[in-house]
Each structure stands twice: as C-alpha cells, then as structure tokens.
Structure 1
C-alpha cells in the first residue's frame, strides 16, 4: 500500500489491528452470540475469563494440598499416629518425602505407608520426642516396627 500523504498513513491501522482482533476472537470462539462476534464485548469477556483462569491456577494448587493432607491424615489415623508425629519422625529418620509422595503411598501402597508410619513412630520414641497432642484422638491400631517387618528379612540384614 502506498500512502501519498501523512494523513492517510496515520489513519490506516493496517494488518496489526486484524491480528490483534483475531487473537481475541480466537480466545472467544467458544462463546455464544455477540460475545463471540462483537469485538468490544468479546474483549471484555476474554479478559475476565483470563483473570479467572489466573486465580484458578492458584486455587488448584491449594485444593491439591488440601487433598494430600486429608489422605495423609486419614492414613495416619488408621495407624494410631498423628500427621505431625509422622512428619517429625520421618524428618528425624532422614526420610525426605513430600506431601504428594506420602499421599500417593497412603492411597496406593498402604503397606509401605504402614512401614513408614512404624519407622516414624519408632524414631520419635527413640529420640524421646513428645508430640503434645491428645493421644486418644487417633483410632487406629498400635504399630510396632517388629510387627510390620518380616522376621526373615530382619535376620537377613543382621548377617551383613
């Protein structure tokens, strides 16, 4: 396009406006009615949707943390140990597992989680750590490390 005067050049919006509008219309393609076809309405709805999406990413992370905590707490109650005692015992035993890993173990590998709970409880008792929470709250069975581990496995490890 050739502009013979500066006035015509400044009035021409050119291809940039087309691509800017196209980006908004592509984000609004699944809307219904004028919010899909009218640019001034579509741009408002797209901006609001993008703001909600930004908030939702943070809320999704918080929801997952709450779910993991709930699963771990439920598994801890089955084994008569509090979540705080489990975490403290695992930290003292240098077993560094995060919430997600503990939650997966609690839901998909309950025997492994039972062993971890027994190790944590044994380490806490060995160190003389006092939880300070009500001991009557957990309703599960009492754990002992010898009950969880197989005697044959313990004997094999003593040979080395």
Structure 2
C-alpha cells in the first residue's frame, strides 16, 4: 500500500482551529490541543445559548409588560386573560414594545382587557334573602 501523507491537511486543520481561537487568553489561543478544547466548548456554548436566548427575551418581555400593567392597576395574568377574552392577538414582544414606547396605546389595550375580563370566579359569593347563594 502507498504511504498516505496528510501534512498539508493536518496543518490546514490546525491553522483553522487556531484562527478560530484567536482572541482567547493564554495557551488557549496558542497551543493546538488547548485551542481545540476551547473552540469545541465555545461551539457548544453558542449552540446552547442561542436556544436559551429565546426564553431570556420572553422573560424580559413579561417583566416589562407586568411592570406597565401594574402601573395601570392590574396584574399580568389578568391582563393576558382579558386580552384573550377580547380576541386580541398581539404577542408579548409587541406588547413590551408598546409598553415602553407607546404608553397611550398600551393603556388602551389595558382598558380593553379590563372591559373583557370575566367576572371574578374567586370573589366571595353573596347570599340572597332566601338563603341560596347568588
């Protein structure tokens, strides 16, 4: 069998790995084995955090909406319930943008949600004169 020489390919692979590791501190940018480990970890972190970013932004939007809704005298949960009852299909990203940049429009949405909230099911029941719960 003929001898396989891969020096060009091996050097290219190592060079690419070290180029990817440029900017890392210490040996991680200079030594191939350390750089390879760090580049692999970096790719894992970036993949994982691209997925996590979606949840992070959703949590941020909910916090912003909650703060704006509480300023209007309502809770986030009741606000979302009222919007669903009203048939308003605006996602949380847009609601958060409205809360920050368009307070008047957001106040109108809060009022719409308040108007369409069902009666409070947890409110204490009042009794009528004949003793039956109303």
Could you say which TM-score interval applies, normalised by the shorter chain?
0.7 to 0.9
Q: Deviations over 1:92-111 (max 9, x none)?
A: 22210111111011111111
Q: Could you list the runs of 4 or more consecutive aligned residues of structure 1 that deviate by over 3 angstroms after TM superposition?
A: none
106, 120, 123: which one aligns with 1:130: 120
Structure 1 residue 81: Cα displacement: 1.5
Structure 1, unaligned stretches of length 5 or more? 134-160
> Equivalents in 2 of 1:119, 1:104: separation in Å?
18
> Which residue of the partner structure matches residue 157 of structure 1?
none
> Which residue of the partner structure matches residue 85 of structure 2?
92
Q: Is the 8 A contact 1:85 1:131 kept in 2?
A: no
TM-score (norm 2): 0.80
Structure 1 residue 41: Cα displacement: 1.5
63, 70, 77: which one aligns with 1:70: 63
Q: 1:100 to 1:132 in 2, by over 3 A?
A: farther
Q: CA RMSD in A?
A: 2.0
Q: 1:66 to 1:132 in 2, by over 3 A?
A: farther
Structure 2, unaligned stretches of length 5 or more? 124-134
> Equivalents in 2 of 1:33, 1:78: separation in Å?
50
> Equivalents in 2 of 1:71, 1:34: separation in Å?
43
Q: 1:17 to 1:107 in 2, by over 3 A?
A: same
